[in-house]
Amino acid sequence: MLEKVDLTMKMEKSEYKAKMTALKLQMGKLQRQCKEMGLPIMIVFEGFDAAGKGMQIGKLIQSLDPRGFEVFTVKEETKEEAMHPFLWRFWTKTPQRGRMAVYDGSWYIKVLSDRFEKKMRESEIENCYRSICSFEKQITEDGTLLIKLFLDIDQKEQKKRFDKLMESKDTAWRVTKADLKKNEKYDQYQEMIEEMLQRTDTEYAPWTIVEATDRRYATVKIYTVITQMLTAGIDNRRREIARETAAEVIREAEKEASENRSLIDGATKGFQESVLAKVDLSLCCDRKTYRKKLKEYQKKIEKLHGELYQKRIPVVIGFEGWDAAGKGGAIKRLTEKMDARGYVVNPTAAPNDLEKAHHYLWRFWKNMPKDGHIAIFDRTWYGRVMVERIEGFCTQEEWKRAYKEINDMEKDLADAGAVVLKFWMQIDKKEQEKRFRQRQENPEKQWKITEEDWRNREKWEQYEEAVNEMLIRTSTEYAPWIVVEGNDKYYARLKVLETVIDALEKRISKK
């Protein structure tokens, strides 16, 4: 892509002033429209060092309401960031709907500077590109407008700008040894950039090359491209709103139809017969054996937890299951002997307004553990393909694409060294009713049972279909589902503990 760029492009001052007057007014107007329509914007500035990214960001934000944007400067990872999957720090910086995030550098640091400086192995490159493309596809499919700009200058111009900066002690600090090395090996670095542009120039997140030798020309081009893309994004959002309004009527009809069991097709029944129907819920454990094994397993968990911390291995454990299936009890026994400083249990409820204003995975990415720590989720991101699917809180297109989005997220966690385990706590309908009634009759446990729990029982078959499909589509080698036979609580708790112990021991032995 870069070989076709004409870096001699220039613009006279008079033409620059005339164009910028109109572009600045348009930029402010478009920002207000994006806010009104709830359109999230991400603008990425990448480019050669000294190409003017910082200066161009400064020019851009002069036309924006400072209450509606945030600028992020991406440099080397902090210690905290380095202890998470590399996309964690970018997921946590994605804007909520109606706001704008501007990035001076971005997630591309991994395949550019880090790769050039050999801070990552070449064997990691493929996974890194997969993660980047998956990230960009997920946020754009969720409605974010992603604008990617690459500022291009040649080797001679870069050296000239470095020399000028180094002439003054006030600016010399801005030129590092790494910068000079990239200029010295400009062709080698350019090859990496070319590969990056080609592999990540997609329909949903295209690159715009900005000829940055002449600063006036570059500024006008950046403004022009951003205003054009914002205009197109607003037009698309208007059409989406119109479609969503019409789709709401259709969803209500589909929801009603889906509750009619006669509409279940043979393919879906095939899912039902393939997983949950085969679970042996008669498995049980006597009280004496349970107490003995519980003590033994918890002692092992306590020891393994310390080893995880020493070896800096992160662990993600998700619990899903029927209401009253024993998730809370299993989590309590799992964590009882752990060091409380080294784990967090994240209960997942309906998303709040801030969480709704982001991609649905945002709130889970925020709570992923750093190296050596454990994150336990009492209900998880799988709500997208269960409750949100069944209750019509998302579109069919959204929950269908969620399978891949979730698999990609879990792959990112595993690639970063995390142990990822997911438990489905399985009980039958009769056992659930028994437990519901026990809760209702016990004053200390009445808070655990709600009218919604009883209503959900009426949709048991629909949830069963969704669960079976979820288990099949998202159980992977790197993030397996473990179905726990839960009619007997003792058996279920021991199986969870035994499974976690086995997974942690295997992982620690490989470290």
pLDDT > 70: percent of the chain:
95
- Structure token pair of residue 349: 């409820």
Q: How far apart are CA 285 and CA 496, in angstroms?
A: 13
Would you tell me how many other CB atoms lie within 10 Å of the CB of residue 166?
Answer: 14
What burial class does residue 128 get, using C-beta atoms within 10 Å of its C-beta: 0-12 exposed, 13-18 middle, 19+ buried? buried
Per-residue pLDDT of the chain (511 residues; tens, 9 = 90+): 888 899 999 999 999 999 999 999 999 999 999 999 999 999 999 999 999 999 999 999 999 999 999 999 999 999 999 999 999 999 999 999 999 999 999 999 999 999 999 998 888 999 999 999 999 999 999 999 999 999 999 999 999 999 999 999 999 999 999 999 999 999 999 999 999 999 999 999 999 999 999 999 999 999 999 999 999 999 998 988 887 777 566 656 555 555 444 334 444 444 445 789 999 999 999 999 999 999 999 999 999 999 999 999 999 999 999 999 999 999 999 999 999 999 999 999 999 999 999 999 999 999 999 999 999 999 999 999 999 999 999 999 999 999 999 999 999 999 999 999 999 999 999 999 999 998 888 887 777 778 878 888 889 999 999 999 999 999 999 999 999 999 999 999 999 999 999 999 999 998 7
**Cα 123–Cα 128–Cα 132 angle in degrees, nearest 5:** 165
Question: Distance of CA 471 to CAs 127, 272, 462, 465, Å?
Answer: 24, 10, 14, 10
Would you tell me how many other CB atoms lie within 10 Å of the CB of residue 468?
Answer: 20
Does residue 201 contact residue 207 with C-beta atoms inside 8 Å? yes
Domains along the chain?
11-238 (3.40.50.300), 285-508 (3.40.50.300)
Does residue 320 contact residue 379 with C-beta atoms inside 8 Å? yes
Report the number of secondary-structure helices (H) and strands (E) in the chain. 21, 10
Three-state SS at 374: strand
Q: From the CA atom positions of the chain, what is the Rg in Å?
A: 27
What burial class does residue 481 get, using C-beta atoms within 10 Å of its C-beta: 0-12 exposed, 13-18 middle, 19+ buried? buried
Would you tell me how many other CB atoms lie within 10 Å of the CB of residue 353?
Answer: 7
H helices of 366-459, in order, are: 387-391, 396-415, 429-441, 451-457
pTM (predicted TM-score): 0.89
Kindly give, in sequence order, each residue whose CB lies less than 8 Å from that of residue 496, ignoring residues fewer than 6 positions away: 330, 333, 334, 423, 482, 484
Residue written as tokens 């790197």?
A: 478
- pLDDT, tens digit, for every residue of 464-496? 999 999 999 999 999 999 999 999 999 999 999
